[in-house]
Structure 1
Amino acid sequence: MAEFKSAVNSPINNEQGFFEKLANGDFGLAKTYWIYGVLVGMVVNLLSNFISSIGGLVIFIIAYTTYEIPVLMGIWKAANKYKGPRFWAVLAKTAVVLGVIMLVAGLLAIIGSLA
């Protein structure tokens, strides 16, 4: 039984994965917002221009949405942890609210166009 307890409490089992750290806001507000939010979003937008089939675009959008959810969660949580000027945290949370609205509106538009 002692072996089982030591294996459960080992550092390997306590490590967080990338997406868990991202969703928890562990990378900090600036990095989460600008790199994982804005920069990756710009790259995704550019790459989406090269997809010619509807099926490929649907798969691409599902994959991006799966990525975008922890990003938005991470920005919000990083804003809660932010120790700098409150203005930046409020602005980041406003961007998250707008991001969620745009994400839902985009998904509804795609579903509507496929129906």
Structure 2
Amino acid sequence: MDDSQEIQKVFFKKLIDGDFGLAKTYWFYGVLVGLIGQIIMLGVEMSESIALVIITILAALTYNVCQMIGTWNAANRYTGSKIWTVLAKITVALGVIAITFTIIILTNL
């Protein structure tokens, strides 16, 4: 395993474990990176390469699952106001529902 693979492994482990904290995991890795990912997805969807679209969707799905698990775990560790923990977990639950419906729709095409 080279250095870049090791860095990725460490990053995703820290993300999943919620080590970045609730605010950073939710707002930076969830909202901001998610927004950038959506912009990239729009560009990819405009291409004529079905393989590229599928690879991008799978990469986005994998990242989103890691980020949602990380948000849930960061919420479990959060020591501030309980409302932020509850709201973060509601958002994750809604995200899981959205991903589930997306998978159902994509597999029925």
TM range (shorter): 0.7 to 0.9
Structure 2 match to 1:62: 58
Structure 1 stretches of 4+ with a deviation exceeding 6 A read: none
Larger Cα Rg: Structure 1 or Structure 2?
1
Q: Give the superposed CA RMSD.
A: 1.2
Which of 77, 80, 83 aligns to 1:84? It is 80
Which shows bigger deviation, 57-66 or 85-94? 57-66
> Cα distance, 1:84 vs. partner?
0.7
1:1-115 matched pairs, under 5 angstroms: 17-51=10-44, 52=47, 53-113=49-109
Structure 2 match to 1:8: none
Q: TM-score, normalised by structure 2?
A: 0.85
> Sequence identity of aligned pairs in percent?
46
1:60-96 superposed Cα distances (whole Å, 9 cap, x missing partner): 0101111111111110010011111000000000000
Q: TM-score, normalised by structure 1?
A: 0.81
> Cα distance, 1:54 vs. partner?
2.6
Structure 2 stretches lacking a partner, 5+ long: 1-8
Which shows bigger deviation, 67-76 or 50-59? 50-59
CA distance in 2, matches of 1:84, 1:40: 24
Size of the alignment, in residue pairs? 98
> Cα distance, 1:55 vs. partner?
2.2
Which shows bigger deviation, 96-105 or 47-56? 47-56
> Cα distance, 1:111 vs. partner?
1.6
